[in-house]
Amino acid sequence: MFMKSIFAVVIVFCLFLSPKASFSEALSYDKVLSDAMNRSRKLAGARLDQEIKGFVVRESRYLRYPELSFKFYSEQVNDLSDDSGLTSVGGTVFSEDSKFQNTAYADVNYNLVDYGIAGKQIAIAEMDETAAAALVDQAGMDVETAVLDLYSSILSLYLDIRYGQRVLDLTDRMNTMRKRTGAAGISDRLSVLDRDIERAGLLDRMCEFRFELSLRLKDLTFYTGVSYDPDSLEVSPLAFDFGGMKEIDYRKNPEYRYYEYQVRIKDAEAAIEKKRFYPGVGLYLRYSFYGMDDHDYFKSFEEVREKNFTAGIYTSIPLMENLKRRHTLSRIRSEMMKAKEAMEEKYDELKTTFGKLETRYAFYVKDLDNKKELLSLVREKSQMIKRLTDAKLMDQEKGLEQESSLLQQELELEKKIVERMTALRHILIQTEGVM
């Protein structure tokens, strides 16, 4: 009675988590990764940042063109004095006649000599965009790493449940056989109780696996935005092809590339500051129109005529600004050295880490092949025992016990294969990027 009560509690507890007889919803790594990439806020933010940097590049290219502006003024001047003519005070000219007047002019300003500053500014914008692209790659790698770990844990739990159900079926068959023989006085009651306890423990573990699977699927929903039903789910195995590892170029790593471009940007900024010590030389042009009337506002428009055309060259020497610029240049150089230190530190880190990854990759590939071969042999033996049992050439209870033991071996090998494939894919993500 006691054992029956245990079975009843365990079965009732697991009922809401129990799997259906057949699975209808397929879960594949490629689909999950695609959904996660499309939904990732982090990746979307990185891509938007790259897009923003691209607009900055387009804006900066206009630095090579002259500045062109057109201005128009239409006004009424009311003289409050009794004088006539013009009065100049400081740089301001006062008209002493009441009138309506209009003026329009086009201005052109162009830097004749900028010592290559515009080109450097465009180059900085382009390097900033390239650095943002590196961050997009890094964000994609982070997303795949997280999804890969989560999918692998889901797959392992799915295997635990699937193989556990098969072992449970074999245990039920063995229990039925033992109870029959026990009723005939061939087997003692203790042996049957051992099987009952084993069955209850297996049910308990399967409940835990289903509970953990439900939690992992909710975690996956966070990345993909898709809801998953654990009772109608079939998790597809990982399907990666692992050949020889490509030659590693540390400079292609997104983090290294980002630091590399930060160094280049600071170098370009320092070059710009040095060139700003020199006087700038520019060209200016103005084409003016003017018209006025003492009494009629609209007639003042009819009087608009060409007034003058001005052309000239200007230069400016920022004396006080150059005193400040010395400190600005020193700051930029220090920032460049800091960025260079970070880049070299990342290079040393990658060199050490990737050196270990190459060794691990070679071992994992070989170990993966060995485990796949061993799994094939275990399955072959399991099929052979099943055929012998079905043909009654082997004791049925003994045959079921061996099948159960081989299923446990299959499960452990399948989970090891998932573990190795996950580790190998991790290595490729770090060395080659996302799929």
CA–CA dist 270, 262 (Å, integer): 12
User: What pLDDT is stored for residue 4 in this prediction?
Assistant: 47
CA–CA dist 171, 163 (Å, integer): 12
- Specify the amino acid at residue 218: K
pLDDT (mean) for 324-353: 91
| Residue 341, C-beta contacts closer than 8 angstroms, at least 6 positions apart | none
- Token couple for 379: 């399955």
CA–CA dist 364, 417 (Å, integer): 10
DSSP state of 233: E
CA–CA dist 178, 180 (Å, integer): 5
170 pLDDT tier (thresholds 50, 70, 90): confident
- Specify the amino acid at residue 301: F
User: What pLDDT is stored for residue 25 in this prediction?
Assistant: 79
Q: What are the structural domains of the chain? A: 2-80+94-432 (1.20.1600.10)
Percent of the chain residues topping a pLDDT of 70: 87
Q: Does residue 262 sit in helix, strand or coil? A: helix
pLDDT digits (tens, 9 = 90+) for 61-91: 999 999 999 999 998 888 776 666 555 444 4
Q: Which residue has the higher pLDDT, 212 or 94?
A: 212
**Cβ(247)–Cβ(50) below 8 Å:** no
15 pLDDT tier (thresholds 50, 70, 90): very low
- Token couple for 197: 């306890």
pLDDT at residue 9 greater than cutoff 60? no
Max distance between CA atoms of the chain, in angstroms, equals: 138
User: What pLDDT is stored for residue 17 in this prediction?
Assistant: 44
pLDDT (mean) for 202-214: 91
User: What pLDDT is stored for residue 3 in this prediction?
Assistant: 47
* DSSP H/E element including 295: none
**Cβ(428)–Cβ(360) below 8 Å:** no
Closest by CA position to 422, among listed 234, 154, 229, 221: 154
User: What pLDDT is stored for residue 8 in this prediction?
Assistant: 46
Q: Which residue has the higher pLDDT, 294 or 263?
A: 263
pLDDT digits (tens, 9 = 90+) for 361-408: 989 999 999 999 999 999 999 899 888 887 777 777 788 888 888 999
pLDDT (mean) for 333-345: 93
**Cβ(169)–Cβ(396) below 8 Å:** no
Whose structure tokens read 């006649």?
97
User: What pLDDT is stored for residue 16 in this prediction?
Assistant: 43
pLDDT (mean) for 250-277: 92
User: What pLDDT is stored for residue 82 in this prediction?
Assistant: 64
Output the CA angle 145-147-150, nearest 5 degrees. 110
**Sign of the torsion formed by the C-alpha atoms of 418, 423, 429 and 431:** negative
**Sign of the torsion formed by the C-alpha atoms of 261, 262, 264 and 265:** positive
Q: Which residue has the higher pLDDT, 353 or 92?
A: 353
User: What pLDDT is stored for residue 56 in this prediction?
Assistant: 95
pLDDT digits (tens, 9 = 90+) for 357-373: 888 998 999 999 999 99
**Cβ(40)–Cβ(145) below 8 Å:** no
22 pLDDT tier (thresholds 50, 70, 90): very low
237 pLDDT tier (thresholds 50, 70, 90): very high
Closest by CA position to 153, among listed 242, 205, 215, 204: 215
User: What pLDDT is stored for residue 96 in this prediction?
Assistant: 59
CA–CA dist 178, 210 (Å, integer): 29
pTM of the predicted model, to two decimals? 0.79
